[in-house]
């Protein structure tokens, strides 16, 4: 996350400075830490037939809900961005990849927030919730870049079939 979008935001768009971004991130994290649920010491993990349903209902350890999808999501986003920057996929394909991933991000966010009490420390709960909010900020930045500044991110000189998306 933020591998290409933050440098574009800070260097090319200059909408916000890195210090302001850091201060806002710290403020959001402090609020999330305050409202994070306290860990439940004696909570038993629910037996499940379906991992996705049980995690949606909040019955799985936060570790097993957060990390697999976090790694998968970041690998997909990074791969899509690298392919778009090199001109291997069109701008429309880049849009479709992000749209497909958005539905899984919604499931992941709800599962992480519901499973936040299933951890050893309140800090992990706050960090996991912060990461889910960061994904939506990343999506917002990518939408801003896609709509208002596509020529900065996409290799518009190499895209002949989808050149209209660069305007």
Task: Please give the chain's pLDDT, 167 residues, in tens.
Answer: 888 888 888 888 888 889 999 999 999 999 999 998 888 776 666 667 888 888 888 888 999 999 999 999 999 999 999 998 888 888 888 999 999 999 999 999 999 999 998 888 999 999 999 999 999 999 999 998 888 888 888 866 655 545 556 66
In a domain, 153, yes or no: yes
In a domain, 121, yes or no: yes
Range of the domain at 59: 52-159
In a domain, 64, yes or no: yes
In a domain, 144, yes or no: yes
In a domain, 103, yes or no: yes
- Give 125-158 as a 3 state SS string: HHHHHHHHHHHHHHHHHHHHHHHHCHHHHCCCCC
Query: What local confidence, expressed as pLDDT, does residue 44 receive?
Result: 64
Which of 87, 77, 79 has its CA nearest to residue 153?
Answer: 87
Query: What local confidence, expressed as pLDDT, does residue 66 receive?
Result: 95
In a domain, 14, yes or no: no
In a domain, 21, yes or no: no
CA distance 121 to 39: 6
| DSSP percent split of the chain into helix, strand, coil, nearest 5 | 70, 0, 30
Q: Would you state the structure tokens that stand for residue 89, as one six-digit string? A: 């996929």
Structurally, the chain folds into a number of domains equal to 1
Give this prediction's pTM.
Answer: 0.85
In a domain, 126, yes or no: yes
């Amino acid at each position: 996350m933020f591998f290409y979008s933050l440098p574009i935001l800070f260097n090319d768009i200059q909408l916000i400075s890195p210090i302001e971004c850091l201060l806002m991130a710290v403020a959001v994290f402090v609020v999330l830490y305050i409202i994070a649920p306290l860990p439940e010491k004696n909570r038993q993990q629910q037996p499940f037939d379906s991992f996705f349903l049980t995690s949606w209902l909040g019955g799985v350890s936060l570790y097993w809900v957060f990390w697999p999808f976090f790694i998968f999501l970041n690998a997909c986003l990074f791969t899509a961005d690298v392919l778009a920057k090199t001109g291997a996929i069109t701008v429309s394909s880049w849009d479709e990849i992000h749209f497909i991933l958005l539905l899984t991000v919604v499931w992941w966010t709800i599962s992480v927030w519901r499973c936040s009490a299933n951890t050893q420390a309140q800090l992990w709960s706050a960090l996991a919730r912060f990461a889910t909010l960061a994904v939506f900020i990343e999506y917002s930045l990518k939408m801003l870049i896609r709509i208002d500044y596509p020529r900065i991110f996409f290799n518009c000189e190499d895209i002949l079939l989808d050149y209209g998306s660069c305007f």
